[in-house]
Amino acid sequence: MDILIGLLLICSFIGMVIFCIKGHNLMVGFFIMATIWTVLPIIGHLISPNDVFAGMTINDMLKTVYQTAPEKYGASLMNIFLGAFFGRILLDTGIASTIIRKSVELGGDNPAIILAIVNLITGFIFTSMTGAGSVIAIAVIILPILFSIGIPKVIAFFSFTGSVAAGLFLNPINFAQYSAFFLNSSGGAEYSYSDYFPFGILAFLVMIVVVSIAAMIYLRFESLTYAWAATKESKIVDAPGISLITPFLPVVGVIVLDLPVILCFILASLYALAVCGELNGGFREVCRTISRLFTEGVKDTSSLVAFWITLAMFNDAAFFAAPYFEKIIGGIIPTAPLALCLLFGVLAPLTWFKGPLSLIGSGAALLAVVSQTTNYPTTFLYPLFASVLIGMAHFDITISWNAWGLSFNRINAIDYMKVSLVPGISVALILEIANFLLNSPV
């Protein structure tokens, strides 16, 4: 009976892969999977009692998945909301656009140097900004500038998306989002942003360097095209120089001063508003400004809340499904840390189209199996998955801002995938090897 239940669970896993590849709603998909992965183990346990669930009633199993699991994410959601509020301030005050314009001025007339500087600055900006709206808002500033100095569209867009991914390696908001997948794989030990930060710094640097070198190599084989003259904004907001350190304040506060993430976002937000003159009005006006920006920030992340509720259900349902997966594929997945790291690096393109290595897709099911069969700590598993999730999967054309960018800028999707493939695999392999050397549990 255990083998039959395991086979049915594997079929549901395959169904989830197909569901993700076809672009269906992930929130709905995770809810369906959570239900399947709860009901089938309940049936299996009733027919053939499983020692893993000893002492648990059917009501206990249902409560674990549909009540206790969603309640786990209260603190993490607050991090998301405050981070989105901070990102909205960077956009509305003109701080982000001012940083970009000044960084371009440093590059002079050399397209390769401008590209490298813009990559670095974009990466720094996205250490504190996140979300499709923020990426698109920055893209409409950066891409016309890169196009206007002759950089071919596909190279400029590849370079931009790679630098965004570099920033996400260090982004506390994204860390909170992705680490939520690992709540059941840490053996009760807390895995904090400070614990992850050294690997995040390494990943940021590797991503920036690999993407910049790849873009420069591509430029040597491509003629400058001057395809699109830079568009002038109808109203250019030039933020004061003292405000330009704002995007880096949350990370400094968390790592250097060991302050809480939420407090860092609040203090950095108030600093930005103060130096940009947004707190000079009356008390009521200041309150309205802060309320408006927070509301807009929460709207930017509203769909993520529903996604997390169903993701929490799926994560806890995976506990009940894991014993049956072990019966079928427990001996197939390599358990040696080096083998796992090399396998993930080589198969990194399987993160595309929400494939089996992408946590934001069917990879969440794979994590459940890997964590149960290896029992490795989050200090190893998080970088294992993050290396491919950010280093490779953020070149996926099904990501909302990538889909927008390819369509809006009339870039051929196949050409974009071609220029992204080798750099993405290179980043993934370098980081997976680094993860083995730095975090191997054996």
pLDDT digits (tens, 9 = 90+) for 189-211: 578 888 899 999 999 999 999 99
Most confident of 3-12, 136-145, 388-397, 428-437: 428-437
- Of these ranges, 285-299, 401-415, 421-435, the one predicted with the greatest mean pLDDT is 421-435
Residue 57's SS3 state is coil
Name which of 205-219, 265-279, 394-408 the model is least confident about: 394-408
Cβ(374)–Cβ(383) below 8 Å:
no
Question: How confident is the model over 128-140, as pLDDT tens digits?
Answer: 877 777 787 788 7
Mean pLDDT of the region 81-93: 77
Residue 66, CB-side half-sphere exposure with 13 Å CA sphere: 14
Nearest to 362 by CA among 408, 331, 393, 407: 393
Residue 277's CB is within 10 A of a number of other CB atoms, namely 12
Contact 125, 138 (CB under 8 A): yes
Domain residues of the chain, as ranges? 2-439
Cα 106 to Cα 417: distance, rounded to the nearest angstrom: 30
| pLDDT band for position 432 (cuts 50, 70, 90) | very high
Amino acid residing at 175: F
Quick one: average pLDDT of 426-435? 96
Report pLDDT digits (tens) over 251-303: 788 777 878 777 888 888 888 888 888 888 777 888 888 888 888 777 766 66
**Is the pLDDT higher at 217 or at 144?**
217
Mean local confidence (pLDDT), 389-401: 85
Question: pLDDT digits over 322-375, tens only?
Answer: 777 667 665 677 888 999 999 999 999 988 876 678 777 667 667 877 887 788
CA distance 68 to 179: 18
Read off φ and ψ for residue 2, nearest 5 degrees.
Answer: -60, -40
Q: Rounded to whole angstroms, how far apart are CA atoms 46 and 209?
A: 55
pLDDT value at residue 159:
92
Nearest to 376 by CA among 334, 337, 434: 337
Asked if 120 and 163 touch (Cβ cutoff 8 Å), the reply is yes
- Count of C-beta atoms within a 10 Å radius of residue 274: 13
pLDDT of residue 228: 43
State how far the Cα of 409 lies from the Cα of 139, in Å rounded to an integer: 11
Q: Please give the angle made by the CA atoms of 319, 388 and 199, to the nearest 5 degrees.
A: 95
pLDDT for residue 20: 63
Identify whether the C-beta of residue 136 lies closer than 8 Å to the C-beta of residue 229.
no
What's the whole-model pTM score?
0.72
Among 404, 430, 438, residue whose Cα is nearest residue 131: 404
